[in-house]
Structures are given as C-alpha cells and as structure tokens.
Amino acid sequence: MVVSPHAAYLHLPFCRHHCGYCDYPVIAGRSELVPAFLDAMEAELSCLGEPHAVETLYLGGGTPSYLPLQALQRVVDMARHWFPLQPGHEFTLEANPADLTAELASQLVSWGVTRVVLGVQSFQEAMLVELERDHREEEIRGAVGVLQDSGIHLSLDMMFAVPGQTLAGWERDLEGAVELSPEHISVLGLVIEQGTPFHARAEKGELVETGEELQRSMYLAALDKLQGAGFEHYEISSFSKPGHRSRHNQVYWNGEDYYAAGPGATRFINGCRETNHRETTTYLEKINAGLSPVCETSQLSAEMAARERLVFGLCQIQGVQAGEFLERTGYPLRELMGEYLEQYTSKGLLDWDESMLRLTRDGLLVSDSLWPPLLQSS
C-alpha cells in the first residue's frame, strides 16, 4: 500500500554562529549562499511532482529565524506550495531569541505559523557563554513577549549537564522557564559529540563533562518541577500543557511516514529511509549538477520497522500497547523483546502487565542504554 505522509520537515542550515556543542548539519557565516540554497531546495521539492497536503510542517535548522525576511518568505512560499496545510494544522519554526521582533512575529502569524521553538538553553550568563550562545536573558524575555502577544504557541528548549552547571543553577533555569508560561518545554542533556569543538576541548582537558549522578539528579529535578507546574510528561525529554504536545514529533515517535528536504534531512516513506548529504556545499553541488542529494538509502524490513516502532513507542511515557502493536506490525511484543523483557523488568527498568509495556522512572534515567539490543534483528 502506497502511503502519503501527512508531515513535512525542511532543514534550513544557516546560523549566525556555530555553537561548539552542535552536531547538526549547519553552516555559519555563509549568508552569501542563501540564494543558491533556496534555488536548490526548490529544485529538490519540485521532484515531488505535485503538492502533498500535510497536517504538520516544521522548519528547522540551523536557525530559520536568522534568514533575512525576504528569504524566509520564499521558504514559506515554497513550503506551503508543495505542502499545503490542512485545516487545524501545526506549523512550527525554530528560532533564536535574538532574532525575534514584533515585525517577524507578525509575519509568522500571516504565514500560518502556529508554534515557535525557542532555543533558550539557559537564562544564566555563565551558561550561555559556556554554550557559546549569542543571545542573553533580556532577549529571551523580549522574544517570549512578542510571541505571546502574537498568539503563537511557544516551546522552550532547555539544556542541562552543561560543564560547570550546578543542580541549583539548573533548578533556577527550570523555574525561569515555568515563569514564562510556555505551552511546551523540552529538556535536553548535553552530549559532547565526536567531531565538535566541545569534544576537542574535552580531549585536551579544557572542558569537564558532567558526572552521571549529577546528570540524573538534574533530569529528576526537571520531572518533578515541570510536572508539579502542570506540564504533562509525554516523552522522555518533552513536557507540554494539556493539548499542546508536538504533533510533528509524534509523527516520528509513532513510526509514521514523513517528507523532508534540505542538507542532512531524512525522509521516511513506505518503509524507505533516505538521508541527504549533510554538508550544505555538497548538497548544492549535487543539485546544481542535476544529481540526487541523497547519500544514504535503506529499505526497512518488517522486523526492523517493528523494532524501531517499539523503541520510539517506549520513548513515549504512555508506553506500547501490546494488542495495537501486534495489529500494526505483525509482531508480538514478547517476541521482539526476547530475553530483554525479563532482564529489564527484573531490574525495575520496565513495567509489563501483559498488555502494556512502559519505562519506569528508573528506566527513564538509563533509557539510551536499553535501545541497542532491541534494534538488533534476530
């Protein structure tokens, strides 16, 4: 059966500055490439042949809000041409607090944007400097104000396990986020990825990673403070006010199909996963030469599709319902879990009552370590 996805993601790689911890496909200080990039993205999208209506549209990066207004207008025009928005849509744009003005907020409303993800990370000067962020607390509060005045829903990205960060400092950041009354908050533990400047600094001893016990305390503090403030914990790192879950991210977590375009973008359609070249310059070269920007393609077997659905399902706090999982994948949960069902439940990491499988509070703390064996085909 041919599936027509109801979600689309466009990757806009441009940033004012490349933060030292960032491992995403971004390019900083090359604004002269924006016109060529827009031409290339339009060429990639034209390969769709015809428009496809979607329920969720997401402009990520990079920093979409960094683009000049005229360039961002062109992105929105092509996005809404190729992916017309259905009634009741969710249209998300990622933004840097330093970019948000009343003019931009007004434009976002006129374009149909319903949700902005604001890369806050911290309210504290020392942490923002450590993370090499180019915004400050007053800009965060100003951005939140103009977005809330415009009626756009707000999600804040907050970061813990930053080198030098204390538990008390993280708790103050959580309190600061709650005080701003966003509809959604994501809490992300800093991971020092190989190939980043942060990794090079860590190798030289110039940067000390946060210890595991402190990281766990920080994560538990987020659970307690955000749930205590009325946020629903619905995915490992995601908290929302009732009715404000990220519908776009749930497409990924539910194993549904989605379109994607841009450098490093991954699409998943009818069991086939394709990923574009990460480097913006390579992406441009491929498209300008009339070649596909895709660098990786994989066709998931029925078993691997089921295993991915299992792991993504367990990332959601509601867990995986056994009957529904069997109906959608053709695989019993017990069969895919194998020996790890008993192993993880006996250690108190999973709850299992023959009908529902979900992470426990202890399981949430070590979830990343649980997935590799579950993603191995039999």
97/214 same-domain check: yes
346/232 same-domain check: no
Report the first-to-last Cα separation within the chain, whole angstroms. 26
* 12 in any annotated domain: yes
* 29 in any annotated domain: yes
Domain span at residue 340?
Answer: 319-374
85/161 same-domain check: yes
If one counts the domains in the chain, the total is 2
Q: Are 272 and 238 in contact (CB under 8 A)?
A: no
75/158 same-domain check: yes
Q: Phi and psi at residue 327, in whole multiples of 5°? A: -65, -40
- 214 three-class SS: helix
Domain boundary among the residues 253, 286, 304 is at 253
Domain boundary among the residues 209, 232, 253 is at 253
Mean pLDDT for the chain overall = 95
The set of residues, in sequence order, having a beta carbon less than 8 Å from that of 209 and lying 6+ positions away, is 161, 163, 192, 202
* 99 in any annotated domain: yes
231/329 same-domain check: no
Condensed to tens digits (0 to 9), the pLDDT of residues 157-215 reads 999 999 999 999 999 999 999 999 999 999 999 998 888 888 889 889 888 889 999 99
171/22 same-domain check: yes
Instruction: Please state, for a pLDDT cut of 70, what percent of the chain lies above it.
Output: 99
User: pTM to 2 decimals?
Assistant: 0.95
244/362 same-domain check: no
* 268 in any annotated domain: no
Condensed to tens digits (0 to 9), the pLDDT of residues 249-292 reads 999 999 999 999 999 999 999 999 999 999 999 999 999 999 99
208/100 same-domain check: yes
Beta strand pairing status for 184-189 and 232-235?
A: unpaired
Indicate the pLDDT class of residue 2, thresholds 50, 70 and 90: low
- At residue 3, the pLDDT reads 64
> Six-digit token pair at 221?
């503090």
Residue (of 314, 308, 317) closest to 266 by Cα position:
308
120/248 same-domain check: yes
The set of residues, in sequence order, having a beta carbon less than 8 Å from that of 309 and lying 6+ positions away, is 254, 255, 325, 328, 329
Question: Is the pLDDT reported for residue 361 higher than 90?
Answer: yes
Q: How far apart are CA 72 and CA 66, in angstroms?
A: 9
Question: Is the pLDDT reported for residue 71 higher than 70?
Answer: yes
* 303 in any annotated domain: no
* 70 in any annotated domain: yes
* 121 in any annotated domain: yes
Q: How far apart are CA 347 and CA 199, in angstroms?
A: 33
Q: How far apart are CA 322 and CA 331, in angstroms?
A: 9
Question: Is the pLDDT reported for residue 21 higher than 90?
Answer: no
Q: In one letter, which amino acid is 219?
A: Y
Q: Are 342 and 361 in contact (CB under 8 A)?
A: no
Q: How far apart are CA 305 and CA 243, in angstroms?
A: 28
Q: How far apart are CA 302 and CA 308, in angstroms?
A: 10
CATH of the domain at 103: 3.20.20.70
Condensed to tens digits (0 to 9), the pLDDT of residues 309-347 reads 999 999 999 999 999 999 999 999 999 999 999 999 999
Burial of residue 330 (CB within 10 Å: 0-12, 13-18, 19+) is exposed
Domain boundary among the residues 253, 287, 307 is at 253
Condensed to tens digits (0 to 9), the pLDDT of residues 218-260 reads 999 999 999 999 999 999 999 999 999 999 999 999 999 999 9
Fill in the DSSP letter of residue 355: S
> Six-digit token pair at 306?
């089921």
Q: How many Cβ atoms sit within 10 Å of the Cβ of residue 212? A: 11
Question: Is the pLDDT reported for residue 378 higher than 80?
Answer: no
The set of residues, in sequence order, having a beta carbon less than 8 Å from that of 32 and lying 6+ positions away, is none
What element of type H or E holds 91?
strand 85-95
Measured CA distances, 316 to 23, 172, 196, 251, 366 (Å): 24, 26, 29, 12, 14
36/175 same-domain check: yes
Q: How far apart are CA 204 and CA 147, in angstroms?
A: 41
* 166 in any annotated domain: yes
